[in-house]
Amino acid sequence: MSTEQQLKQDIICICRMLHRKNYLAATDGNVSVRLGDRLLTTPSGVHKGLMEAEQVITVDLEGQVILGEGKPTSEIRMHLLAYELRPDVAAVVHAHLPYATACTLAGIDLLEPILPEVVITLGGIPTAPYATPGTDEVPDSIREFIREYDAVLLSRHGAMTVGRDVRDAYSKMEKLEHTARVVLAARLQGPLPPLPAAEVEKLRRLGEKYKAGG
């Protein structure tokens, strides 16, 4: 199996996992992987739980279709911006997470350092301001966050994660939704105290070691 075929299979695997986990419904969400000077991406209007590898389309770094049938996802500009600003990124996942989206509706900020594993692996989870889906407002809304963070909540519109490959980006999405569930459950009991500043600094140093593979 060629590298391109394998990457297409990886995209399908992640799409099905997203659907099984209820991280998206029907045609919601999108996934892309960078392969040199082009992207492999899910097309618009296709049920992610029922997709097949031959439905993955290839676009250039301007978002124009090179190979395949259908149109690129309406959020392709969000993906393109991530690849432009982050040369370390090789995959982008956008999903409509129920609990994480609920946090944005309830005005709950996940950037507060509450859970140590989130500080270590993600640094934090900021929330981008609301932007009309499928428009240039979306990449504009995430620009200041995606330079620094691998996971960003999109107000009323789910979340976006990036990674060194599509499985890495998916894992960050899973961690984000798990965090949202924990925080929402705990908030039912009242305000949540953040971790002490000294502990956050210690965790951030561990995070740097974690990202370096140490």
Q: Which residues participate in catalysis according to the annotation?
A: 75
Strand-pairing partners, residue 33, are 40, 91
**Any idea what DSSP says for residue 183?**
H
Cα-trace Rg, the chain:
17
Query: Residue 37 and residue 34: Cα distance in Å, rounded?
Result: 7
Query: Residue 199 and residue 141: Cα distance in Å, rounded?
Result: 30
β-pair type (151-154, 57-60)? unpaired
Tokens of 129: 């301001």
Strand-pairing partners, residue 118, are none
Distance, CA of 161 to chain centre: 2
Query: Residue 188 and residue 115: Cα distance in Å, rounded?
Result: 17
